[in-house]
Amino acid sequence: MLCVVGTFAFSDWLRILVYPFGVIVHRCRLTPKAHEKSIRFFIPNLILSELFTAWVQGFQRQSDNHLLNKSLLCAFLLLVAESTPVPINPMESLPANFSDLPAPLQKALLAIHSGFNQPFNLKVLAERCFISPYHLCYLFRQHLKVTPLGYLTRLRMTIAKQLLENAGLSVGDVAVLVGYQDWRHFHRLFVRHFKVSPGAIRSKGSSLPHRIFKPPL
């Protein structure tokens, strides 16, 4: 996975995560008192990955053809702007009583929802909330009737279902997008959660657009 960060203004950033099968885009707003992250979007387009890879390779080679390198990056950003995204809004799944929950639990939930596809580490999560792992688990069980890992898994499965229904991706690609490198493990969790295989609800629409992209020499 590759990553590029661009800026619109001093405190307004666009962060793009590049996968072999498309990109995830979200906007970050930095202020003196807050770091807010907007709704994420997924754009399933293989050409985006090819354009970005070609740009990175030219940059790493320190190519003398600066005009080509700039053109590749501009073409990548233009395609991002013109593409129709699939919305991924992990914040939609926050508990209805979120505002009534203890502050450490609110902080943990926001961290889980904003980084749902990142590796899970209970100790690190508890440190971010300034409480012990034991107390964090207690708060989850008392207020949400689930463990922190169980909550994360449920969120990932919800987002995976949305992607399978709307993005036209393979089961393996969806597994990677929601944080699982082993698609078989993802398959088992999905079946356990929804009582149906991910392939059974996968979108039957057209597959991802794919053209052979060959950057000029």
Residues 68-92: pLDDT tens digits? 888 888 998 888 888 777 777 787 8
Cα separations in angstroms, 129 against 101, 110, 144, 200? 13, 10, 17, 39
The verdict on pTM exceeding 0.85 is no
3-state secondary structure of 202: coil
Bridge-based pairing state of the strands 40-43 and 35-37:
unpaired
Cα separations in angstroms, 95 against 76, 106, 115, 157, 184? 37, 10, 17, 16, 29
Which residues have CB under 8 Å from 29's CB, separation 6+?
A: 11, 12, 13, 35, 36, 37, 38
User: 109 or 162: which carries more pLDDT confidence?
Assistant: 109
CA gap 171, 141 in Å, rounded: 31
Domains and CATH numbers, the chain: 2-88 (no CATH), 90-201 (1.10.10.60)
Residues 124-136: pLDDT tens digits? 999 999 999 999 9
